[in-house]
Amino acid sequence: MIKFNLENRVAIVTGGAQGFGLSITKRFINSGAKVIIWDIDENECKKAIDQISSEKCSFRIVDVKQIENIQSNLNEIEKKFGKIDIFINNAGIAGKNTSVVDYPLEEWKKVIDLNLNAVFYCCKSVVPYMIRNNYGRIVNIASIAGKEGNPNASAYSTSKAGVIGLTKSLGKELAKYNIAVNCVTPAVAKTRIFDQMTKEHIDYMLSKIPRNRFAKVEELASLVTWLSSEENSFTTSAVYDLSGGRATY
């Protein structure tokens, strides 16, 4: 396993207590970073801290749908650590598997609010800290669904397409600084997000992957860690496919 150098870097991972986020957190810690997990599930946060067992890892209960909550926590983190180098927008939900015609309005708003609006709030809030230091790495976790669209998952697909567009815009805006903004479009992995999906939808997604398996959380963590490193000194506004060959563009 390649050890990317994140020594002396301060990183925040939203939804970092489980699934993709936990795997990213572990890889960051092994690469030398100090990591602050942002999550709303305190029990999962405590489990993650016990599992990682490192003084470099801590957590905060943060609702990323609330911009005031985001901004107050960023301010406290900068006061404690002196800077914020890396921000990973990972928190998200799948939403219901049903047609556009039958999709509940409140469920649509719920998915868009966490998967897209919260990413905007976090990016908007953390960028000034990175500009002050003329350094930053932002990685947004999108999805192959955002590139191709999955039937019976319109809210999820739309939210992740929005994340891709936001990434491209923000990366161009920050190109004159030493700040890289990229996103990753993974195929689904066997995490707790499966609990939110029907078996038919899971089978559909697997049938579309030429490698004939789901992504591994460790594979995503490896790519995200490189994108978050100083070694990634040129690429920005980019979309990195991690779909096992499913992506058509």
Catalytic residue positions, numbered: 156
Question: How far apart are alpha carbons 189 and 30 in whole angstroms?
Answer: 22
| Contact criterion met (CB below 8 Å) for 155 and 103 | yes
Q: Look at strands 57-61 and 86-89 and give their pairing.
A: unpaired
Look up residue 162 and give its two tokens. Answer: 């929005």
| Contact criterion met (CB below 8 Å) for 5 and 230 | yes
DSSP 125-145: HHHHHHHHHT-EEEEEE--HH
> What are residue 247's phi and psi, to 5 degrees?
-60, 135
Residue 179: helix, strand or coil by DSSP? Answer: strand
| Contact criterion met (CB below 8 Å) for 65 and 114 | yes
Count the helix, strand and coil residues of the chain and give each as a percent rounded to the nearest 5: 45, 15, 35
Look up residue 129 and give its two tokens. Answer: 């800290």
Which residue type, as a one-letter code, is found at position 77?
I
